[in-house]
Amino acid sequence: MLKSALALLLLSTFVVAQTAPTKPQVRVNYLNVCNPSDAETKEIASALARIVRKPAFTSDFEISRGKSSMTEADLQLQGMQSDPSQPPSISRWVRIRREFPETSAFQNVQYSFSTSEGRVSETLVFRLRDPKDVMQISLSDTISARSDPASILSVDTPPSRIRLERFGKSSVALARCPAADQTAYQSYFGSASEIMAAYRASLAVRKTVLDDLARIPDSAVTPVPKKSSRK
């Protein structure tokens, strides 16, 4: 009788162990954006060197604009906090996309300009045609100021973040960190600034962004006046 009870107890324990759900493993990768490794900085340098400063585009292009209510996740991503007593934060944005010819290693480039309460963000993304390792390269900057878009677009703000999205691997990123010694990375930030300035000009960002922002309701942006053809 004792043996039967013991066997039944062992069997029930085995059944419970078999039916108990197993927790999925969660893997978290931390990016050292202030001081990436030597291998990562070499990869960043190689990726930036592939981007031509005087691009040639096909005739295909896309320009889009919109007005979006920012979610809690959007606010946290930009380092902002929501206030339930206030109206929801609104983002007004313009995106410009151009295609590269088939002979280029890149498929397309997209520039995004987003303005919200006291904050303006610019992002330039290059997507590779054959992403064997790196899928896309992005350069971005964020300005915490209440300046109007025209004032911000009148200067070439240097990128504060460089990011590589890799195929089957974690991302590689380099960001400006005032508290860290980043003397060794100034050449990378300088290269990123050259690229951002060149593509602002090639994509006619200053005029296109202001014209399209002015078409968004309640944007309070004046379009760029057309130059007169009269002499």
pLDDT value at residue 25: 57
Is 224 domain-assigned?
no
Of 40, 78, 55, 25, nearest in space to 166 by CA: 40
Both tokens assigned to 177: 């960190």
Whether pLDDT at 139 is above 60: yes
Interval 188-198 mean pLDDT? 98
Query: Has residue 178 been placed in a domain?
Result: yes
pLDDT confidence of residue 218 = 75
Residue 51 lies inside a defined structural domain of this protein: yes
Q: Which of the four pLDDT bands, split at 50, 70 and 90, describes residue 85? A: very low
pLDDT at 16: 46
Q: What is the pLDDT of residue 86?
A: 47
The pLDDT of residue 224 is above 80: no
For residue 194, being part of any structural domain is answered with: yes
Q: What is the pLDDT of residue 80?
A: 47
**Span of 28-42, 79-93, 146-160, 173-187 with lowest mean pLDDT:** 79-93
**SS3 category, 93:** strand
Give residue 33's Cα distance to chain centre.
14
Mean pLDDT for 88-93 is 83
Q: For all residues of the chain together, what is the average pLDDT?
A: 83
Percent of the chain with pLDDT over 70: 72
Rounded to an integer, what distance in angstroms lies between the CA atom of residue 152 and that of residue 119?
Answer: 11
In a domain, 35, yes or no: yes
227 domain residue, yes or no: no
- 162: which strand partners? 139, 174
Domain of 185 in residue numbering reads as: 31-214
In a domain, 21, yes or no: no
Does the residue 82 lie in any domain?
A: yes
pLDDT at 69 > cutoff 90 = no
Q: pLDDT band for position 220 (50/70/90)?
A: low
Nearest by Cα to 173 from 47, 69, 84, 64: 47
Give the count of domains, the chain: 1
pTM, two decimals, is 0.77
pLDDT at 142 over 80: yes
Whole-number pLDDT of residue 132: 84
Helix, strand, coil percentages for the chain (3-state, nearest 5): 30, 25, 45
Residue 122 and residue 145 in contact, taking contact as beta carbons nearer than 8 Å: no
The pair of structure tokens assigned to 14 is 């085995």
Least confident stretch, 17-26, 111-120, 147-156: 17-26
